[in-house]
């Protein structure tokens, strides 16, 4: 145990609101879907019971139709916009109306593998709701093959360049007056701009008008894009859910069918001009034409190839710390603006799972050492400038602390050259 380990545990405990963990105080005061799953992973290193509880409170917010929402508003907090009354989903507890990357089955498997005996009752309890959520993705978001998103926030990579073309087609001019809260917590130059925000709100307003009916939103909503990031997360999550189902003696053939369909659909998001996986605007049929970290989640789903390897090494070698969220050689690269260039420890950790599984240990340990360096130098920030390591966004961030405890913390010795 080092002082950073202690600090990381402390952050998780302080962000614990009783059964669920907030991403960071102030900026994100509710339970966020994938943040919560990473929190569970972090807790699993020192308090497994609390870790399982985190997953259970998340899955307890599942909708009738199987969706697990991206935010759960357990109590009201005026410091965040758009809050529960803007989303108006009519759920109890109130929630947002979109989902987020389905990392839950991936982390559930890792937690169960760490202690199969103690984990068995928990995976048994979680399995039916995880399966219903995966079915929701298959039925309502994979109708075009790869996974589609109906709002950039659904991707978890809010303002990444992947969505620029889809965003251009959204009319944000009629959203009315509102007051953002995020820019009161962190430097506005690190956050999405006002035009983006108007469009984000317009999409929420459409969802409300559609009564949050997923079929209507996919058919007529202002935004619909294929997301390589979610596609790879879901593919990996299907595979991990199959393993969990088999351990429980369940019939997993339906999930195998979803996984096969998704893998067979991957050529639809391969952009030959870019020589990489790419997002696609389903409203126009156009590729995004930009390289981002969503494409590199292919490693997580065992879907990389030599062309993608070449792109990965090019963008990684162009910066100093970790994998950038956008191509440093592209005009849109902005090293401190959220998902338009910065390095995110949480994405590095997901890519690392894939690298490790594929036996690419040299790359995995480089990524781990670079991520560890960022945290050692500056602490548990939301994300970092990959060119000079400047810490950005919120501090005392839950998922960065969790990633330290589960993965990056092991990079210290390596960074110092000790085995
Ligand atoms: C931002 C991130 C998203 C995350 C949330 C809470 O919206 O883009 O991925 O879940 O913050 O940390």
In a mutational test of the pocket of ligand 1, which residue from 11, 37, 158, 325 has the highest number of ligand atoms less than 8 Å from its CB?
Answer: 158
Is 338 exposed, middle or buried (CB count within 10 Å of its CB: 0-12, 13-18, 19+)? Answer: buried
The predicted structure's pLDDT at residue 411:
56
Q: Is 292 helix (H, G, I), strand (E, B) or coil?
A: strand
Q: Rounded to an integer, what distance in angstroms lies between the CA atom of residue 317 and that of residue 322?
A: 9
DSSP sequence for 168-222: HTS--TTS-----SHHHHS-GGGS--HHHHHHHHHHHHHHHHTTT-HHHHHHH-S
CATH topology of domain 3-415: Glycosyltransferase (1.50.10)
The predicted structure's pLDDT at residue 412:
54
Catalytic residue ranges: 158, 382
The angle subtended at Cα 370 by Cα 315 and Cα 115, nearest 5°, is: 115
Q: Rounded to an integer, what distance in angstroms lies between the CA atom of residue 322 and that of residue 390?
A: 13
Atom of ligand 1 nearest to the CA of 158: 8
- Where the chain has pLDDT below 50, the residues are 413-419
The predicted structure's pLDDT at residue 191:
85
Q: Rounded to an integer, what distance in angstroms lies between the CA atom of residue 209 and that of residue 204?
A: 9
Nearest CA to ligand 1 atom 3: 156
How many other C-beta atoms can be found within 10 angstroms of the C-beta atom of residue 385?
Answer: 22
- Say yes or no: CB of residue 127 within 6 Å of ligand 1: no
| Closest of 310, 380, 290 to residue 344, by C-alpha | 380
pTM metric for this prediction: 0.97
CA torsion angle for 367, 373, 374, 380 (degrees, to 10)? 110
Residue 262 Cα, ligand 1 centroid: separation in angstroms?
25
- What end-to-end distance do the CA atoms of the chain give, in Å? 17
| Closest of 131, 155, 29, 50 to residue 402, by C-alpha | 50
Residue 410 Cα, ligand 1 centroid: separation in angstroms?
25
Q: What is the pLDDT of residues 316-355, one digit of tens each?
A: 999 999 999 999 999 999 999 999 999 999 999 999 999 9
Residue 156 Cα, ligand 1 centroid: separation in angstroms?
6
- Say yes or no: CB of residue 28 within 6 Å of ligand 1: yes
Alpha helices, DSSP H only, in 15-98?
33-43, 48-59, 84-87
- Chain-centroid distance of CA 338 in Å reads 13
Paired strand residues for 226? 148, 280
Task: Delimit the domains of the chain by residue range.
Answer: 3-415
- Chain-centroid distance of CA 286 in Å reads 24
Residue 155 Cα, ligand 1 centroid: separation in angstroms?
9
- Say yes or no: CB of residue 32 within 6 Å of ligand 1: yes
Atom of ligand 1 nearest to the CA of 399: 12
Q: Are 245 and 238 in contact (CB under 8 A)?
A: no
- Say yes or no: CB of residue 185 within 6 Å of ligand 1: no
Q: What is the pLDDT of residues 98-120, one digit of tens each?
A: 999 999 999 999 999 999 999 99
Residue 70 Cα, ligand 1 centroid: separation in angstroms?
9
In a mutational test of the pocket of ligand 1, which residue from 26, 28, 102 has the highest number of ligand atoms less than 8 Å from its CB?
Answer: 28
């Amino acid at each position: 145990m080092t002082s950073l380990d202690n600090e990381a545990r402390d952050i998780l405990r302080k962000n614990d609101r009783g059964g669920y963990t907030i991403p960071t105080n102030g900026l994100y005061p509710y339970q966020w879907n994938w943040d919560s799953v990473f929190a569970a992973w972090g807790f699993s290193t020192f308090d497994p019971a609390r870790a399982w509880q985190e997953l259970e409170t998340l899955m307890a917010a599942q909708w009738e139709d199987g969706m697990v929402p991206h935010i759960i508003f357990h109590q009201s907090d005026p410091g965040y916009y758009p809050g529960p009354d803007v989303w108006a989903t009519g759920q109890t507890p109130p929630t947002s109306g979109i989902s987020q990357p389905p990392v839950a089955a991936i982390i559930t498997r890792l937690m169960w593998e760490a202690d199969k005996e103690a984990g068995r009752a928990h995976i048994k309890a979680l399995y039916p709701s995880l399966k219903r959520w995966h079915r929701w993705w298959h039925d309502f978001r994979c109708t075009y093959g790869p996974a589609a998103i109906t709002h950039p926030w659904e991707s978890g990579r809010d303002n990444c360049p992947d969505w620029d073309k889809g965003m251009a087609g959204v009319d944000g001019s009629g959203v009315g007056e509102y007051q953002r809260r995020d820019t009161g917590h962190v430097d506005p130059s690190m956050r999405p701009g006002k035009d983006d925000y108007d469009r984000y709100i317009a999409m929420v307003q459409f969802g409300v008008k559609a009564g949050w009916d997923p079929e209507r939103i996919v058919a007529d909503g202002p935004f619909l894009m294929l997301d390589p990031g979610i596609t790879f997360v879901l593919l990996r999550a299907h595979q991990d859910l199959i393993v969990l189902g088999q351990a429980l003696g369940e019939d997993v053939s339906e999930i195998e069918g979803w996984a096969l369909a998704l893998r067979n659909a991957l050529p639809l998001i391969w952009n030959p001009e870019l020589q990489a996986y790419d997002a696609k605007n389903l409203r126009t049929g156009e590729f995004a034409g930009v390289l981002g970290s969503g494409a590199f989640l292919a490693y997580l789903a065992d879907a990389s190839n030599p062309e993608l390897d070449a792109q990965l090494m090019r963008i990684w070698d162009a910066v100093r710390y970790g994998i950038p969220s956008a191509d440093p050689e592209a005009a849109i690269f902005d090293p401190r603006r959220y998902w338009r260039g910065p390095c995110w420890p949480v994405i590095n950790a997901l890519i690392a799972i894939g690298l490790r599984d594929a036996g690419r240990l040299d790359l995995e340990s480089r990524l781990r050492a670079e991520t560890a360096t960022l945290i050692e130098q500056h602490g548990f920030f939301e994300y970092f400038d990959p060119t000079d390591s400047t810490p950005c966004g919120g501090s005392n961030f839950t998922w960065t602390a969790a990633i330290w405890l589960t993965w990056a913390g092991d990079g210290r010795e390596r960074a110092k050259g000790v085995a």
